[in-house]
Structure 1
Amino acid sequence: MNSSLELAGVAFAAELARHGDRPAVLTGGRMLSYQELADRVGSFAARLGMVRRLVVLAADNSVDSLVAYLAALASGHPLILAPAGNPAAVESLVSAYDPDVIVRPGTPKDGGPLLEEVRPGTHHELHPDLALLLSTSGSTGSPKLVRLSQQNVQSNAEAIAEYLNIDEDDRAATTLPMYYCYGLSVINSHLLRGAGIVLTELSVVDPCFWELFRNRRATSFAAVPYTFELLDRVRFTDMELPDLRYVTQAGGRLDAGTVIRYAEHGRSQGWELFVMYGQTEATARMAYLPPHLAAAHPETIGIPVPGGDFRIDPVPGLENGELVYTGPNVMLGYASTPADLAAGRTIHELRTGDLARRHDSGLYEVVGRRSRFVKIVGLRIDLGQVEKTLQKLGLHAACAGTDQKLVAAVEGSHDGRLLAKMLSQTLGLPRAAVEVHAVERLPRLATGKTDYPAVLALAKPEPEAGATPASTAAIPAVPEDVRRIFADALELSDIGDDDTFVSLGGDSLSYVAASVRLEKALGHLPPDWHVTPVRDLAARARAHVTDDGGSWRRWRPALCSAPPPLW
Structure 2
Amino acid sequence: MTLPLELTGVALAANLASHGDRPAVLTGGRVLSYSDLAQRVEAFAARLGTVRRLVVLAADNSIESLVAYLAALASGHPLILAPAGNDAALESLITSYDPDVIIRPGASLPSTVPGHQAGPLLEELRPGTRHELHPDLALMLSTSGSTGSPKLVRLSHHNVQSNAESIAEYLNIDGGDRAMTTLPMYYCYGLSVINSHLLRGAGIVLTELSVVDPCFWELFRNRRATSFAAVPYTFELLDRVRFTDMELPSLRYITQAGGRLEPETIVRYSKEGQRNGWELFVMYGQTEATARMAYLPPHLATTFPGSIGIPVPGGNFRIEPVPGLDDGELVYTGPNVMLGYAESPADLAAGRAVHELRTGDLARKHDSGLYEVVGRRSRFVKIVGLRIDLGQVEKTLHNLGLQAACAGTDQRLVAAVEGNHDERLLAKTLAQSLGLPRAAVEVRAVERLPRLATGKTDYPAILGLAAPPEGPGRTTAPPGAEATAAPEDIRRIFAEALEVTDIDDGDTFVSLGGDSLSYVAASVRLEKALGHLPADWHVTPVGNLVAKARPARKRRRLFAPLETSIVLRAVAIVVIISTHMDLIAWPGTAHILMALAGYNFARFQLGGDRLPRLKRQARSLARVVVPTVAFIGAVMLLTDKFNYTPANLLMLNTVIGPSGWTDAWHFWFVEVLVYVLVAMMALLAIPWADRAEKRFPLAFPVALIGVGLLARYNLVPIDILHTRPVLWLFALGWALARARTVPQRLILSVIAALALPGYFDNPWREATILAGILLLAWIPALPLPAVLHGLFGTLASASLYAYVTHWVIFPDFKEHTPVLAVALSLAVGVAYWAVSMRIMGRVLRLGTAAPRKPVNSGRTKDKKREGLPPAARA
Instruction: Give TM-score scaled by structure 1 length.
Output: 0.87
Q: What letter matches 1:315 in structure 2? A: V
**What is aligned with 1:99?**
99
**What is aligned with 2:823?**
559
Please give the per-residue CA displacement for 1:263-282, whole angstroms capped at 9, x wherever unaligned.
11111110000000000000
SS at match of 2:442: strand
Which of 435, 439, 446 matches 2:442?
435
Indicate yes or no: 2:485 matched with 1:470: yes
**What is aligned with 2:363?**
356
Which of 128, 131, 156 matches 1:124?
131
Which of 224, 235, 246 matches 1:228?
235
The answer to whether the 8 A contact 2:8-2:135 is kept is no
Q: What letter matches 2:468 in structure 1? A: P
Partner Cα separation in structure 1 for residue 317 and residue 182 of structure 2: 29
Indicate yes or no: 2:437 matched with 1:425: no
Partner Cα separation in structure 2 for residue 362 and residue 498 of structure 1: 58
**What is aligned with 1:280?**
287
Please give the per-residue CA displacement for 1:233-283, whole angstroms capped at 9, x wherever unaligned.
000011000000000000000011111111111111100000000000000
Partner Cα separation in structure 1 for residue 161 and residue 177 of structure 2: 19
* TM-superposed deviation, 1:124: 1.0
Please give the per-residue CA displacement for 1:309-345, whole angstroms capped at 9, x wherever unaligned.
0000000111110000000000000111111111110
Q: Compared with structure 1, are the counterparts of its residues 121 and 498 closer, same or farther at alpha carbon in structure 2 (3 Å cutoff)? A: farther
**What is aligned with 2:34?**
34
* TM-superposed deviation, 1:389: 2.5
Partner Cα separation in structure 1 for residue 382 and residue 168 of structure 2: 25
Q: What letter matches 1:31 in structure 2? A: V
Which of 400, 404, 417 matches 2:411?
404
**What is aligned with 1:509?**
none
Partner Cα separation in structure 1 for residue 252 and residue 192 of structure 2: 18
Please give the per-residue CA displacement for 1:435-468, whole angstroms capped at 9, x wherever unaligned.
0011223333444443322221221222423256
Partner Cα separation in structure 2 for residue 482 and residue 522 of structure 1: 19
The answer to whether the 8 A contact 1:156-1:329 is kept is yes
Alignment of 1:38-117 (within 5 A): 38-107=38-107, 111-117=118-124
**What is aligned with 1:508?**
none
Q: Compared with structure 1, are the counterparts of its residues 337 and 295 closer, same or farther at alpha carbon in structure 2 (3 Å cutoff)? A: same
Partner Cα separation in structure 2 for residue 187 and residue 200 of structure 1: 12
Partner Cα separation in structure 2 for residue 197 and residue 469 of structure 1: 47
Partner Cα separation in structure 1 for residue 19 and residue 236 of structure 2: 37
Please give the per-residue CA displacement for 1:220-244, whole angstroms capped at 9, x wherever unaligned.
0000000000000000011000000
**What is aligned with 1:378?**
385
Q: Compared with structure 1, are the counterparts of its residues 471 and 83 closer, same or farther at alpha carbon in structure 2 (3 Å cutoff)? A: farther
Which of 299, 310, 318 matches 1:303?
310
**What is aligned with 1:178?**
185
Please give the per-residue CA displacement for 1:346-388, whole angstroms capped at 9, x wherever unaligned.
1100000000000110000001111222111111222233223
Please give the per-residue CA displacement for 1:180-229, whole angstroms capped at 9, x wherever unaligned.
00000000000000000000000001000000000000000000000000
Partner Cα separation in structure 2 for residue 12 and residue 351 of structure 1: 28
Partner Cα separation in structure 2 for residue 483 and residue 456 of structure 1: 25
Partner Cα separation in structure 1 for residue 596 and residue 230 of structure 2: 35
Which of 233, 245, 255 matches 2:252?
245
SS at match of 1:421: helix
Q: Compared with structure 1, are the counterparts of its residues 305 and 368 closer, same or farther at alpha carbon in structure 2 (3 Å cutoff)? A: same
The answer to whether the 8 A contact 1:485-1:514 is kept is no
Partner Cα separation in structure 2 for residue 522 and residue 2 of structure 1: 68
Tell me the C-alpha RMSD between the 2 structures: 3.6
The answer to whether the 8 A contact 1:335-1:341 is kept is yes
Q: Compared with structure 1, are the counterparts of its residues 326 and 514 closer, same or farther at alpha carbon in structure 2 (3 Å cutoff)? A: farther
The answer to whether the 8 A contact 2:328-2:364 is kept is yes
* TM-superposed deviation, 1:94: 1.2
**What is aligned with 1:290?**
297
SS at match of 2:5: coil
**What is aligned with 2:468?**
461
Partner Cα separation in structure 2 for residue 241 and residue 22 of structure 1: 23
Indicate yes or no: 2:265 matched with 1:258: yes
Q: What letter matches 2:399 in structure 1? A: K
* TM-superposed deviation, 1:8: 3.9
Please give the per-residue CA displacement for 1:39-91, whole angstroms capped at 9, x wherever unaligned.
11111111111111111111000000000000111111111101111112111
**What is aligned with 2:156?**
149
Q: Compared with structure 1, are the counterparts of its residues 365 and 494 closer, same or farther at alpha carbon in structure 2 (3 Å cutoff)? A: farther
Please give the per-residue CA displacement for 1:511-544, whole angstroms capped at 9, x wherever unaligned.
x999978997847999xx8xx89x98x9799979
Partner Cα separation in structure 1 for residue 321 and residue 490 of structure 2: 56
SS at match of 1:389: helix
Q: What letter matches 2:782 in structure 1? A: D
The answer to whether the 8 A contact 1:2-1:122 is kept is no
Alignment of 1:442-453 (within 5 A): 442-453=449-460
* Count of residues in correspondence between the two structures: 541
* TM-superposed deviation, 1:474: 8.9
Please give the per-residue CA displacement for 1:92-138, whole angstroms capped at 9, x wherever unaligned.
11111111111122249861222111111111111111100100111
The answer to whether the 8 A contact 1:486-1:514 is kept is no
The answer to whether the 8 A contact 2:561-2:782 is kept is no
* TM-superposed deviation, 1:408: 1.4
Partner Cα separation in structure 1 for residue 319 and residue 206 of structure 2: 39
**What is aligned with 1:20?**
20
The answer to whether the 8 A contact 2:561-2:781 is kept is no
- Which protein has the larger Cα radius of gyration, Structure 1 or Structure 2? 2
Q: What letter matches 2:477 in structure 1? A: A
Alignment of 1:1-12 (within 5 A): 4-5=4-5, 7-12=7-12
Q: What letter matches 1:419 in structure 2? A: L
Q: Unaligned 5+ residue runs, structure 1?
A: 505-511
SS at match of 2:347: helix
Q: Compared with structure 1, are the counterparts of its residues 98 and 522 closer, same or farther at alpha carbon in structure 2 (3 Å cutoff)? A: farther
The higher relative CO (CA closer than 8 Å, separation ≥ 6) is in 1
Q: What letter matches 1:88 in structure 2? A: A
**What is aligned with 1:507?**
none
SS at match of 1:360: coil
Q: Unaligned 5+ residue runs, structure 2?
A: 111-116, 470-474, 501-511, 532-558, 575-589, 601-774, 785-791, 800-818, 832-874
Q: Compared with structure 1, are the counterparts of its residues 142 and 473 closer, same or farther at alpha carbon in structure 2 (3 Å cutoff)? A: closer
SS at match of 1:88: helix
SS at match of 2:7: coil
Partner Cα separation in structure 2 for residue 448 and residue 457 of structure 1: 18
Partner Cα separation in structure 2 for residue 513 and residue 56 of structure 1: 44
Identical columns (%): 73
Please give the per-residue CA displacement for 1:27-46, whole angstroms capped at 9, x wherever unaligned.
00000010011011111111
**What is aligned with 2:631?**
none
Please give the per-residue CA displacement for 1:163-188, whole angstroms capped at 9, x wherever unaligned.
00001000000000000000000000
The answer to whether the 8 A contact 1:2-1:123 is kept is no
* TM-superposed deviation, 1:433: 0.8
SS at match of 2:780: helix
* TM-superposed deviation, 1:472: 9.0
Q: Which moved more, 1:257-266 or 1:377-386?
A: 377-386
Q: Compared with structure 1, are the counterparts of its residues 469 and 155 closer, same or farther at alpha carbon in structure 2 (3 Å cutoff)? A: farther
SS at match of 1:312: strand
Q: Compared with structure 1, are the counterparts of its residues 355 and 37 closer, same or farther at alpha carbon in structure 2 (3 Å cutoff)? A: same
The answer to whether the 8 A contact 1:487-1:495 is kept is no
The answer to whether the 8 A contact 1:276-1:288 is kept is yes
